[in-house]
Amino acid sequence: MSFALGLTGSIGMGKSTTARMFVDEGCALWDADAAVHRLYAVGGEAVAPIQAAFPDAISNGAVSREDLKRIISADPSALKTIEFIVHPLVAKDRAAFRDNALADILVFDIPLLFETGGDAAMDAVACVSVSAQEQLRRVMARGTMTEAQFQQIRSKQMPNDEKCARSDFVIVTDTLDHARAQVQDVVRQIRAGLADA
């Protein structure tokens, strides 16, 4: 029986880097964003239903995230339709991973874990965290969005303090070495619990 660890954290907190550290410790990783990319790619399960609902969102046989963003900006209610199509497919992808993974600890990298109630399906939750100033600095350093876009994304996410309070583990990602030491400690604690079970 594998242990399901939800990994969450707001934009710019270092979640992807932390997820790779869990893999380095022998955990299996399921990434919600990567699952959506698979579903949107040519031959992905989301392509046909999204094409039926939004023909303009398909480009070269795949779902275009840029076109979806434009559709949602023009008609915010489109988001609900997209979620209605995509969420069950993501859940199916996650279930298939859970059924087939062989590792003792399965890490589920889900940005909106608490917001979507996904924490209920986990044995424990780890939240990555860093100061608000460092979070802003990291996101701006990517050069992919404006500060206003960042604030808009952050406003849709549960506040960091609340995520940390609701989590079983908090991993502070101020430095790579500090984050790695905390990941190793979390893995040690979980494996000790599994050994006692």
- For the entire predicted model, the pTM comes to 0.90
Domain residue ranges of the chain, discontinuous segments joined by +: 1-27+104-197, 33-102
Q: Can you give the pLDDT at residue 151?
A: 87
pLDDT of the residue at 156? 80
Closest by CA position to 5, among listed 95, 94, 105: 105
**121: part of which helix (H) or strand (E)?**
none
pLDDT at 99: 94
- At residue 1, the pLDDT reads 76
- Is-contact 137 11, C-beta < 8 A? no
> Which of 109, 146, 142 shows the shortest CA–CA distance to 128?
109
- Provide the 3-class DSSP secondary structure of residue 191: helix
User: Is 3.40.50.300 the CATH number for 1-27+104-197?
Assistant: yes
Cα(74)–Cα(12) distance, rounded to whole angstroms? 27
> What's the average pLDDT block by block, 10 residues per block, for the chain (197 residues)?
93 94 98 95 96 95 93 91 94 94 96 91 97 92 89 86 97 97 98 88
pLDDT, tens digit, 9 for 90 and up, residues 107-121: 999 988 998 899 999
